[in-house]
Amino acid sequence: MSARSASASIASFATLPAPHRPEDRAARASETWAKALSTAYEPLTAQERLARALDGDLPGPVALVSSFGADSVVLLHLAAEIDRSTPILFLETEMLFQETLDYQKRVADLLGLTDVRLIHPSSRELVAEDRDGALHLADQDACCDLRKRRPLERALGGFGASISGRKRHQSATRADIALVETDGPHRLKLNPLADWSAEDLADYRKAAGLPPHPLVAEGFLSIGCAPCTTAVSQDEDPRAGRWRGAEKTECGIHFENGRIVRRAG
């Protein structure tokens, strides 16, 4: 898939064949509907997938979850081209790089995003479970649960679907992710860039004149919290720098068939 095809006009997407949408919202949140959409979305561009999803294929309302990390600007730009008021959920774990916080503001202003929501962990839970900010040293899963999984689950409580920037090329554990999948028992998740390569992303960023995350130039190709993110070498997966040295590849905010991912790479 080329950047050119992905950024093509979406004016004709409505003429493309679409599976019959279930009338019931619960049916549109089912694994059966997720599989039907994945098949229907396969030949479409990323922007066509987004347009269809935001136009009612997914059980609404729909939010885009973004880390404002290494590749995030591409998906954010695609969404902004369709609807700048799309809710953007940004997990501000209070352990992010300052470069990420600055980049979030820059990108939101550049793209004219009007509904970026900073999702913080509960101050009460932080005091009870990580008063000194050192939980990640003892239990990384517990830290991610406290600062990412629980806050995001609360934030998504009013949404029927989410949009993610996950891609198959990022790591072995993401190599077979579907375009549309279940995200717990009552929600779907769209991965519109699942089949994009690193080259596709670079081509799109260049063609659209989008600014890179400042840490990418330093070898950070997947950027999370500062204590648990390192740079990667050229022969490593982009996510090899996340939780380096631990048997952990996901933060717990992603599900597979309704279960939190907890796999070693």
**Cβ proximity of 64 and 166 under 8 Å:** no
As a whole number of angstroms, the distance between CA 140 and CA 142 comes to 5
Instruction: Give the total residue count for the chain.
Output: 265
DSSP state of 191: -
User: Is 251 one of the catalytic residues?
Assistant: yes
Using a 10 angstrom Cβ sphere, with 0-12 exposed, 13-18 middle and 19 or more buried, the burial of residue 239 is: buried
DSSP alpha helix (H) spans, the chain: 3-6, 25-28, 31-41, 46-52, 72-82, 98-111, 123-129, 135-138, 140-144, 150-155, 198-208
Q: Which residue has the tokens 């999803």?
A: 53
In the set 143, 144, 225, 251, the catalytic residue is 251
Residues annotated as catalytic are: 251
